[in-house]
Amino acid sequence: MTERTALILDVDTGIDDSLALLYAAGSPDAELVAVTCVSGNIDARQVAVNSRAILELAGRPDIEVALGREVPLIRALETTPETHGPQGLGHAELPPPSQPLSERHAVDLILDEARRRPGEIMLVTLGPLTNLALAVMREPSLPRLLKGYTLMGGAFGVSGNTTPTTEWNIHCDPEAAAIVFRAWGSAMAADPSIARPVALGLDVTERARILPDDVVRLARRAGSTPDDSIALARGEDPMLAARSVASRPIVRYVADALRFYMEFHARYDGFYGAFIHDPLAVAAALDRGLVTTEPLYVDVETRGELTDGMTVADRRRLTGKPPNLDVAVSADIPVFLDRLVERIGGLAADHPDVSR
């Protein structure tokens, strides 16, 4: 029997967060305990709607979804509809969720579950670190209570995707990220048995590109018809239909959501495909062997005129401070993409009857 990792995902569900939710729901080695919502790609209330709708699409309406803080700790809220669409799910449309939000606040949920199951919960943050900063300020022993912590965020050896030096999740609430990184550093200094957080920044997540051929592979794994191979054979782009007509609802969703994301990357990054940052972070949380990491001391700039929000990694050990993050420097992207196709495609095959 496959050993399962208990996951709490803290999300700002946009497009790649939604794929991360589907990846977790389709993973036999994941026990998805709960989902907590933070503002980032879109506002937190829409994040909560999207997350519940995705979980219902995946056949998991039982998963608790909790609303967290709706604004950054100090700064004004920024969102990115140009990247993820006005509702955060690209061109996709889903029925409103039928399940209510949790009565618990996201921060309460994270702390309650960590205390209830000490040493069992793997926390994964896929958006700004606002909720986690509040949680660790309230409960400084949180790093010791968790099994581990994985984040998608930062740019450690590459340019940013929001400013020349900053990645979006850190950019939205750099004060929260600074609190989290310093809190883990302090906790590890007091208790060396605490594992360093694993940070997947743009250095590795921008190598995780999903292309139209991968969507075709996913559709075929799902047994969905049509699978867009006819459009490929004619030399047409398989993602340019007004709406997907795939027979599997999850495949329809993936195709419609990703078409928006691929159009965005075609305009700004020079390729017709999409970076799928967040599913890679979930995959690495479930299988650390997917990534190679370097232990580094990292802090976050919160006042720089040109570098505000930059994740500053001390690669030469100039500060003399011990590492507080395991920063991913490479990832096995082919294996990851194969798993994504298998897990989301398998989930789609198992859930063919969600109404349009």
| 311 part of a folded domain | yes
State the angle between helix axes of 249-268 and 212-222 in degrees (0 to 180), rounded to the nearest 10: 180
| 70 part of a folded domain | yes
| 282 part of a folded domain | yes
What's the pTM value of the predicted model, to 2 decimals? 0.95
CATH of the domain at 36: 3.90.245.10
| 322 part of a folded domain | yes
- Expressed in angstroms, the distance from the first to the final Cα of the chain is 35
| 263 part of a folded domain | no
* Mean confidence (pLDDT) of the chain: 94
pLDDT tens digits for range 238-283: 555 567 888 999 999 999 999 999 999 999 999 999 999 999 999 9
Choose the catalytic residue: 84, 265, 277, 351.
277
312 pLDDT more than 50: yes
Strands 30-37 and 121-125 come out as unpaired
| 317 part of a folded domain | yes
Strand pairing partners for 166? Answer: 163
For CA atoms 252, 258, 263, 264, give the dihedral sign. positive
Known catalytic residue: 277?
A: yes
Domain count of the chain?
Answer: 1
Domain boundaries, position 18: 5-208+274-350
Cα–Cα distance for residue pair 272/264, rounded to 1 Å = 8
pLDDT at res. 34: 98
In the chain, which ranges are continuous DSSP H helix?
15-25, 44-57, 81-84, 106-116, 130-138, 142-145, 168-172, 174-190, 202-205, 212-222, 229-233, 249-268, 277-286, 333-350
pLDDT band at residue 231 under the 50/70/90 scheme: low
Let me know: does 152 contact 126? Beta carbons within 8 Å.
Answer: yes
Closest CA to 136 of 128, 126, 124, 145: 145
Cα–Cα distance for residue pair 349/227, rounded to 1 Å = 13
| 261 part of a folded domain | no
What single DSSP character describes residue 268? H
